[in-house]
Structures are given as structure tokens and as C-alpha cells.
Amino acid sequence: MHKESGPLRSTVGFLVLCSLASSTVSAVNTAPPNAAYVDTVNKADVYLQELADARVVSGTVAVQKSGQLVYSNAFGFASEELDVPMKDGLIFPIGSNTKFFTAVAVYQLQEKGLLNVTDPVNLYIDPTDFDGLGTLGWCPVLHGKEQLGCQEPSIKQLLAMTSGILPSDNMGCGTPNSTWTANDWFWQYRLTDLKLSYGDVGGATGNFFNGQETMAQQLNAQGSLRQPFLFAPGEQYCYTNANFNVMGYVIEKLSNSSFTDYVTENILKPANLTNTFYWIGGQGMEPQGLRKNVVSIPGYLTTFNKSAEDGAPAEFQMVQRTPWWEGDTAYMAAAAGAMYSTMEDLLKWYNTFTTNPEAVGLTKASLKNLTMPIQPLGIPGLNASFGQGIVATGTKNVTNKLMYVGGIWGFHTHIEMWLNHDDPTQSDAILYFTNLLSVIPPGSNGTCAIKSPNGGSPIKLRSSACGGTAEDGGADLTTLVVDELAKMWNISSTPSDSA
Ligand SMILES: *[C@@H]1O[C@H](CO)[C@@H](O)[C@H](O)[C@H]1NC(C)=O
Ligand SMILES: *[C@@H]1O[C@H](CO)[C@@H](O)[C@H](O)[C@H]1NC(C)=O
Ligand SMILES: *[C@@H]1O[C@H](CO)[C@@H](O)[C@H](O)[C@H]1NC(C)=O
Ligand SMILES: *[C@@H]1O[C@H](CO)[C@@H](O)[C@H](O)[C@H]1NC(C)=O
Ligand SMILES: *[C@@H]1O[C@H](CO)[C@@H](O)[C@H](O)[C@H]1NC(C)=O
Ligand SMILES: *[C@@H]1O[C@H](CO)[C@@H](O)[C@H](O)[C@H]1NC(C)=O
Ligand SMILES: *[C@@H]1O[C@H](CO)[C@@H](O)[C@H](O)[C@H]1NC(C)=O
Ligand SMILES: *[C@@H]1O[C@H](CO)[C@@H](O)[C@H](O)[C@H]1NC(C)=O
Ligand SMILES: *[C@@H]1O[C@H](CO)[C@@H](O)[C@H](O)[C@H]1NC(C)=O
Ligand SMILES: *[C@@H]1O[C@H](CO)[C@@H](O)[C@H](O)[C@H]1NC(C)=O
């Protein structure tokens, strides 16, 4: 969704797979950085502080180089209203960074012999758990080609976003390839479902959930299983949160436990992610009561005076900095986007599954399959493919880089990891977690800059960082920050993507 959207836009089990001695848990080496890095640390501080003063950067930032945490700092405000500064260790909603936890859980179930990712997911859908499916089971048809009968996407196709399931929201598919928009025919099918779900759960201004709903109840609210398919399974790619919510349902069904209990017992505890959790409280039910140190919800949306588009970049003025809560996204976050974490925990998570997948119940073969580039995203300037719940760059057989930008309610959690194949404990990574989405329109002559906070010359940004709207995810400031830090630390941008 940009809410919980694609990489550039942006939600107590019975199977205790592995109980761990502390020595098996990967953690970043937090030894003080090499003195050689002092200059680079200062340079990063100056760069980010300037953007923070200009009020376009707010959040936590970290750099891991050759397995060592060399930089970590916080900028801006956790809550501007309450004058609370941002600091390391704060918990953010991680949006779509949830998806890889879900994908790992599915592969754990495969390791246990409870499913095979090549199976049609239809096999695992109990029609009595859903409204309107009849008794015969899930039989989605292809829009416009209904005569072809039931579509049967494999579990792997759901995890790779190639199933054909219709977006549960009004998003497009997140690829230039797809010209389909929700206006084409989505709403005609959604009308009944929207009445049902919005009516029943309280609408955009109410609370959708009380925090205890099952994945089946959430899928019912989305209406996803009552919709026709957008395309035949495997034919195309479409970034659709419903894929992961269906997998969340399968996890609950096969493990006989709630998604939150399953993930806690089988992933979070073994990986020692003590500040990571799943939570679906819904609007107005911030998790501060549940967990302390959660950043202020909602995040912020900063926009600049649009009319300044005609003027010189120096004239750009910030005109709005508003709390941003997309009231209608909670109902589709679930196993696609309803987890919370800290930058420190997310880095620990990436280090754990890349260096020691067995610690979280995965064989090396499962990890390799999960992180294999499958579907090129086709986003200009981004050589990357969707794997299964994660974005991967590499060749068909070798993954060189993993990344994700989770986005929800004005928060973006961006992580990139450059893998060291010879020694996975020596990988590089950069993270930027932000509670501020900046929308910076392009200036005249294609220039792109923001007003200097101190009355100096405008801060020039690369043009790719500008030009967005709040609707399409706005300026891609998280990628700008990560790219700049990569340059400062000589972390090279990667190897080809030929998937
Ligand atoms: C788990 O992580 C916490 C910090 O979040 C740390 O204090 C503790 O030692 C870790 N436990 C293990 C078993 O690694
Ligand atoms: C899943 O099923 C396929 C096709 O029958 C088979 O080739 C594959 O080995 C199975 N995978 C696992 C992990 O059992
Ligand atoms: C684009 O559509 C073509 C034709 O349906 C398909 O072969 C291709 O895989 C699609 N690409 C993406 C990125 O979805
Ligand atoms: C879940 O419950 C069913 C029926 O009681 C049982 O057959 C199955 O083994 C259980 N699964 C797990 C993972 O415990
Ligand atoms: C936005 O720009 C217009 C035209 O330059 C100006 O009249 C208006 O005052 C500006 N608004 C704000 C809030 O700065
Ligand atoms: C835009 O480019 C034209 C031609 O190079 C130049 O004359 C003009 O001053 C530029 N405008 C701004 C605002 O930089
Ligand atoms: C990995 O993928 C290959 C090729 O699709 C398949 O043969 C193999 O069974 C998969 N292994 C696992 C553990 O998923
Ligand atoms: C893929 O990599 C594995 C080693 O990880 C190697 O055994 C295999 O031959 C490679 N396959 C291709 C097609 O390159
Ligand atoms: C990056 O490379 C430059 C040029 O070789 C060097 O001067 C600088 O110290 C390096 N910085 C880091 C953080 O490695
Ligand atoms: C993307 O990959 C292609 C093909 O491997 C390569 O030629 C190109 O330079 C890469 N582009 C970027 C921006 O990395």
C-alpha cells in the first residue's frame, strides 16, 4: 500500500521449528567504527542534518559495511506535535517488509511437509471459512474468459505476485507493463463487497478491527476471494497485497494458530527480534498502549507549494506538513503489511536469514529459492526483480542484492543489503526508516531542489527524487538517501539483473 505498495511506492504456534542457543543468533558487530570512517560519518551527518533541517528527512539511518555497523543516527522528529526527537531504536510500522516474514513462514511449513509451494493454493482454502464461496471450494474465474473455469495459482505464484488475484484496493499493478487500472472493471465487482466490508466494519472513519481478527475475517472484508482474476496465473506480475493475505490464511489454517502466534514462536523468537511484532489494531488504536517506543502515528506528509513549480527552485516553500493516516488501509495490511519493527531488528533479521537460515527453520535451498529474482519489476533505473516477498537483484541463479521499501500510513522502511557470497557475515547494508513522506515537485527546466533551511543556496536533489505526487508515492526520498549513503561508503550499486 503506498500505503502498502510496491518497492518504489510504496503492511503461539504448534510448530516450534528451532530453539536456539544465543550463539546461533546473528547480530551486527557493534564495535566502534574504524577510525578511517570518522570523516565519512561526519559527511553523512552533515548531509542528512541539512535535509532534516529542510524538513524533508526524518527518521533513523544505518550503514553496515563488511558485516560491521559503521553508522547509525536519527534525524527529525518522532512526534513533531509533541516535540519528541527521533532516536535510534524506535519502532515503526514496516508495511510491506512484513511480506518476507510471511514468505519465510510458508517455506517453513514446506520444510515441515505441510505444503508444497508448487501446490495450487485452492487446495488449502476451506470454503466454510469465507462468505459467498458456496461449498465447492475456491473457484476464481478469469475476467472476460469465465468459460475457462477455475484458476489455480500455485502458492509460489502468490508469493511472487504472479497469481492473477485482483488487487484488494484500487491500486494498479506497479509495473509499466500493466495498463490495467481499477477503473477498468474493478469497481463493478467491488461495489457489493465494499458495501459489505465498509458497512460492517465501520467505514473509513471508524475502526476496522479490534486486533483479534483472523486472516479469514480480513480476507472476507477485502472480498478478495469473491473476485475474478486479472490474468491467468503465471502470465504477468501484479503487486497485490491479497496474495500475502491469502498466504497468511494458509499459515493460520495449517499451523492451527494465529498468524501473530505462529510468527512469534517460529521466527521472531528464534531470530531474537525482540522489538518486532504483528498488530492489526486499526485506526485510532495506536499500539503505544501495547508497546512503548512506537513512533508517533500517523506519519507525516510534507508537500511544497505547487504553484512554485513555475518559479525557480529557491522559491520552493513547504506549505503543509500534515499528519497522514490512510484510514482505509488497515483492512488489507494483515500478512501483507501489519508488522512493526525497529531498524536494528530489521537489520538483524536480514543478517540472520542470510548468514544462518537454519536458525529460522530454513534450509539453504529454501532461502535460495525465496530470494531468487523471478519477475523483473520493469521500473526504470531500478535493476531488480520480485522474488518471493522480497525484491532481489542478480542473475537467474545468483542473487547479489536484496531490498524492500515498506510503506504504510506515511511511514517508509527502506532496507538494502548487498550480499557477500564468499562470506555472508561480511555483507553491506543500508537502512532508512522514515515517518515523513516528502512530496517535492520538479522545478523549472527540470531542476529539482529544496529551499535551503539556512537561507543559503538551494539544496539540489537528483531529478529522480522529485516530481512525484502524494498519490503515486511522492518524491522518492528514501532511495535518494540510501543511494547517497552508498556512495559515501563506497558500497557499489549492483550487478546485473537478468531474471
Ligand atoms: C536478544 O536481543 C537482545 C537485544 O534486543 C539482547 O539483549 C539479547 O542478549 C539477545 N538474546 C540472545 C539470546 O541473543
Ligand atoms: C514439490 O512438488 C514438486 C512436484 O511434485 C516436487 O518436484 C518437489 O520436489 C516438491 N518439493 C518439496 C519441497 O517437497
Ligand atoms: C507483460 O505482459 C506480457 C504479455 O502478457 C508478459 O509476457 C510479461 O511477462 C509481462 N511483464 C510483466 C512485468 O508483467
Ligand atoms: C492442526 O489440527 C489438525 C486437526 O486437529 C491436525 O490434523 C494437524 O496435525 C494440526 N496441525 C499442526 C501443525 O499441529
Ligand atoms: C503558494 O504560491 C502562491 C503563488 O506564488 C502564493 O500566492 C501563495 O501565497 C503560496 N502559498 C503559500 C502557503 O505559501
Ligand atoms: C531555464 O533555462 C533557460 C534556457 O537555458 C534559461 O534562460 C532560464 O533562465 C532558466 N530558468 C531558470 C528558472 O533557471
Ligand atoms: C527450489 O526450486 C527448485 C526449482 O524450482 C525446486 O526443484 C526445488 O524443489 C525447490 N526447493 C525448495 C526447498 O523449495
Ligand atoms: C546455479 O548455482 C548452483 C550453485 O549455487 C550451481 O550448482 C548450478 O550449476 C547453477 N546453475 C546454473 C544454471 O547456473
Ligand atoms: C571511499 O573511497 C575513497 C576513494 O578511494 C576513499 O578516499 C574513502 O576513504 C573511501 N571511503 C570509505 C568509507 O570507505
Ligand atoms: C541493469 O542491468 C543491465 C543488464 O545486466 C546492465 O546493462 C545495466 O547497466 C544495469 N543498470 C543499472 C542502472 O544498474
Question: pLDDT over 70 for what percent of the chain?
Answer: 68
The average pLDDT across 268-297 equals 69
- CA 262 – ligand 4 centroid, Å: 13
Domains of the chain by start residue, with CATH: 22-102+268-488 (3.40.710), 109-256 (no CATH)
Please, what's the b/e burial string for 439-478 (b: 16 or more CB within 10 A of its CB; e: otherwise)? bbbbbeeeebbbbebeeeebbebeebbbbbebeebbbbbb
What pLDDT shows up at residue 207? 45
What pLDDT shows up at residue 134? 80
What pLDDT shows up at residue 24? 35
321: pLDDT confidence band, cut at 50, 70 and 90? Answer: low
Helix H or strand E encompassing 318: strand 318-324
pLDDT tens for 416-462 read 999 999 999 999 999 999 988 777 766 666 667 777 766 677 778 77
Distance CA(381)–CA(480), nearest Å, equals 12
pLDDT reading at 69 higher than 90 = yes
Q: Is the CB of 312 under 6 A from ligand 5?
A: no
Q: Is the CB of 311 under 6 A from ligand 6?
A: no
For a pocket test of ligand 10, which of 397, 418, 496 has the largest count of ligand atoms closer than 8 A to its C-beta?
496
Task: Give 386's strand partners.
Answer: 375, 391
* Ligand 9 atom nearest to 489, measured from its CA: 13
Work out the widest C-alpha separation in the chain, in whole angstroms.
69
Question: Contact 70/489 with Cβ under 8 angstroms?
Answer: yes
- CA 494 – ligand 10 centroid, Å: 8
Q: Is the CB of 170 under 6 A from ligand 4?
A: no
pLDDT tens for 173-220 read 766 556 666 666 766 666 556 555 444 443 343 445 566 788 998 888
Q: Is the CB of 498 under 6 A from ligand 10?
A: yes
Distance CA(381)–CA(379), nearest Å, equals 6
Phi/psi of residue 341, nearest 5 degrees? -165, 175
Lowest average pLDDT, out of 3-12, 110-119, 215-224, goes to 3-12
What pLDDT shows up at residue 247? 98
pLDDT reading at 468 higher than 80 = no
Taking CA atoms only, the protein residue closest to ligand 2 atom 4 is 118
- CA 415 – ligand 10 centroid, Å: 20
* Ligand 7 atom nearest to 369, measured from its CA: 1
Strand-strand pairing, 436-439 and 299-304? parallel
Report how far apart, in Å, the C-alpha atoms of 408 and of each of 217, 278, 445 are: 21, 14, 32
What pLDDT shows up at residue 25? 39
Report how far apart, in Å, the C-alpha atoms of 76 and of each of 283, 343, 435 are: 24, 16, 9
Sign (positive or negative) of CA dihedral 170, 173, 175, 181? negative
Q: Is the CB of 444 under 6 A from ligand 6?
A: yes
Distance CA(476)–CA(483), nearest Å, equals 11
Q: Is the pTM of this model over 0.75?
A: yes
For a pocket test of ligand 1, which of 272, 293, 345 has the largest count of ligand atoms closer than 8 A to its C-beta?
272
Q: Is the CB of 396 under 6 A from ligand 7?
A: no
Q: Is the CB of 310 under 6 A from ligand 6?
A: no
pLDDT tens for 154-170 read 999 999 999 999 887 66
What pLDDT shows up at residue 128? 92
